[in-house]
């Protein structure tokens, strides 16, 4: 027998079904509430509202668990790479050898940009933010390529997914080259996904760029760790836009716009800005004391998390696999030295220890991007490249669900009650 919850309001009482997920998490299904009682629920920021059921990603914030399609991020970072993890997210299963080869072949085939899109890119101003270029160009893809057909989703998602996952990397690198006024470097059929991206970003016809295996592994790890995080702001945006049956490219482009905000994908940039200030001042202790002072609004960016209260599993994985990249760069970059010193002091400080404030994913990802040589305005772009398979998987899940409905929240109206129109002369 399934659980029930009873809601009482005045003399009305309503029995509501309690639904249970595969990891035993429970939610009250309020679908019949308005019909039965005339009431709606109000939940600012969706702090308690589940917008859907999903098979894609499981998070347990208390235990520090993050799993894609049942497989932990630790397991994926140890054994997999970003391309295989993308396939897993899109299909709910790891690929066979043949499936993996086909998917890689598609990524290679779709890595070039249509020449007309290159012309389009040419006319952005030189100082255009790469996130703006990314969102606009991804939206424009819908003019160049067909949408996924709902009837043959399973076959076509490989093609459309590979097209997006491959092209976003090319667009990102081209946007960077444009911002520094250099000619673009085209993708190569001989390089893997991450190597190709690093090469397009950093090589040029006048200077050789040597791929470093540790950096390629670190980039794979970072992209895997960003690949999905269930119903976050940008993914919820993709689902909301997709729920009107908007095409895949338009839905993803909306997700890119949501990710650009500093409360979401922009936190890694805030960490680097804070570190620069600490470094300039030469006084780490002053900033730690400021963060502890309740009369001061200052907080240490990159510490603490709303969902992960004991530790951020993504930060732990980054430390495990990327420490060498950081160590190698730290000797050459005083900001990285500052970061490591700050982390060491914070982890010993009673204020942070007692509040369970550990470094989060953004603390390390910004540092790593810096160590690899990415300019700061590319950090959120890297987040977007990583999140692409998650967005596509959620769009697919939503649009293939026969019970899905258009997303249309209610509201409590707080404006004027009825009043009549005042002619201009009387205002």
What is the binding site for ligand CMC (CB under 6 A)?
267, 291, 299-306, 355, 357, 360-362
Q: What is the closest distance, in whole angstroms, from the C-beta atom of residue 86 to ligand CMC in the complex?
A: 20
Nearer to ligand CMC, 110 or 303 (CB): 303
Q: What is the closest distance, in whole angstroms, from the C-beta atom of residue 303 to ligand CMC in the complex?
A: 4
Q: What is the closest distance, in whole angstroms, from the C-beta atom of residue 227 to ligand CMC in the complex?
A: 13
Instruction: Return all residues near 88 (Cβ < 8 A) that are at least 6 apart.
Output: 68, 69, 71, 76, 80, 94, 95
Q: What is the closest distance, in whole angstroms, from the C-beta atom of residue 309 to ligand CMC in the complex?
A: 8
Nearer to ligand CMC, 9 or 298 (CB): 298
Q: What one-character-per-residue DSSP string does 207-238 give?
A: B-----HHHHHHHHHHHHHHS--SS-HHHHHH
User: Cα–Cα distance between 316 and 157 in angstroms, integer?
Assistant: 32
Q: Is 175 helix (H, G, I), strand (E, B) or coil?
A: helix
Nearer to ligand CMC, 198 or 300 (CB): 300
Asked if 369 contacts 335 with a C-beta cutoff of 8 angstroms, the reply is: no
Indicate if 208 belongs to the active site.
Answer: no
Which residue is listed with tokens 């990802």? 365
Q: Would you give the DSSP letter of residue 416? A: -
Residue 26 CB: number of other CB atoms within 10 A?
A: 10
Q: Find the catalytic residue in 305, 312, 349, 394.
A: 305
Indicate if 226 belongs to the active site.
Answer: no
Nearer to ligand CMC, 219 or 300 (CB): 300
Please name which of 302, 291, 307 lies closest in space to residue 370, comparing C-alpha atoms. 302
Q: Find the catalytic residue in 91, 279, 362, 394.
A: 362
User: Cα–Cα distance between 198 and 213 in angstroms, integer?
Assistant: 11
Q: What is the closest distance, in whole angstroms, from the C-beta atom of residue 231 to ligand CMC in the complex?
A: 12
Asked if 51 contacts 407 with a C-beta cutoff of 8 angstroms, the reply is: yes
Nearer to ligand CMC, 306 or 427 (CB): 306
Report the residue number whose CB is nearest to ligand CMC: 304
Catalytic residue ranges: 305, 362
């Amino acid at each position: 027998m399934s659980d029930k919850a009873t809601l009482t309001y005045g003399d009305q009482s309503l029995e509501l079904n309690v639904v249970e997920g595969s990891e035993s998490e429970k939610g009250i299904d309020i679908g019949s509430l308005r019909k039965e009682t005339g009431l709606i629920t109000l939940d600012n920021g969706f702090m308690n509202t589940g917008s859907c059921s999903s098979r894609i990603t499981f998070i347990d914030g208390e235990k520090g668990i993050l799993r894609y399609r049942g497989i932990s991020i630790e397991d994926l970072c140890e054994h997999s790479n970003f391309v295989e993890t993308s396939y897993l997210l899109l299909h709910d299963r790891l690929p066979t050898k043949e499936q993996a080869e086909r998917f890689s072949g598609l990524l290679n085939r779709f890595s070039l940009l249509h020449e007309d899109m290159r012309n389009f890119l040419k006319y952005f101003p030189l100082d255009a933010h790469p996130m703006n270029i990314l969102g606009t160009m991804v939206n424009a893809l819908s003019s160049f390529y067909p949408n996924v057909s709902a009837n043959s989703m399973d076959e076509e998602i490989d093609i459309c997914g590979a097209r997006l996952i491959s092209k976003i990397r090319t667009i990102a690198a081209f946007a960077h080259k444009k911002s520094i006024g250099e000619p673009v470097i085209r993708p190569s059929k001989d390089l893997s996904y991450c190597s190709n991206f690093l090469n397009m970003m950093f090589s040029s016809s006048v200077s050789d760029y040597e791929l470093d295996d540790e950096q390629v592994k670190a980039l794979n790890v970072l992209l895997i760790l960003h690949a999905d995080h269930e119903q976050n702001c940008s993914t919820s945006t993709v689902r909301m836009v997709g729920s009107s049956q908007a095409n895949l490219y338009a839905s993803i482009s909306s997700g890119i716009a949501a990710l650009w905000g500093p409360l979401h994908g922009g936190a890694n940039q805030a960490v680097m800005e804070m570190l620069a200030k600490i470094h300039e001042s030469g006084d780490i202790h002053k900033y730690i004391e400021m963060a502890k002072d309740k009369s001061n609004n200052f907080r240490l960016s990159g510490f603490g998390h709303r969902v992960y209260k004991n530790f951020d599993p993504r930060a732990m994985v980054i430390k495990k696999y990327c420490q060498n990249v950081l160590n190698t760069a730290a000797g050459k970059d005083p900001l990285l030295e500052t970061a490591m010193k700050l982390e060491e002091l914070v982890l010993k400080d009673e204020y942070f220890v007692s509040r369970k404030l550990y470094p989060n994913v953004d603390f390390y990802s910004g540092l790593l991007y810096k160590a690899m040589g990415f300019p700061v305005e590319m950090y959120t772009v890297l987040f977007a490249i990583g999140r692409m398979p998650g967005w596509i998987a959620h769009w697919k899940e939503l649009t293939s669900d026969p019970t899905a409905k258009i997303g249309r929240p209610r509201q409590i109206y707080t404006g004027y009650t009825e009043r009549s129109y005042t002619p201009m002369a009387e205002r």
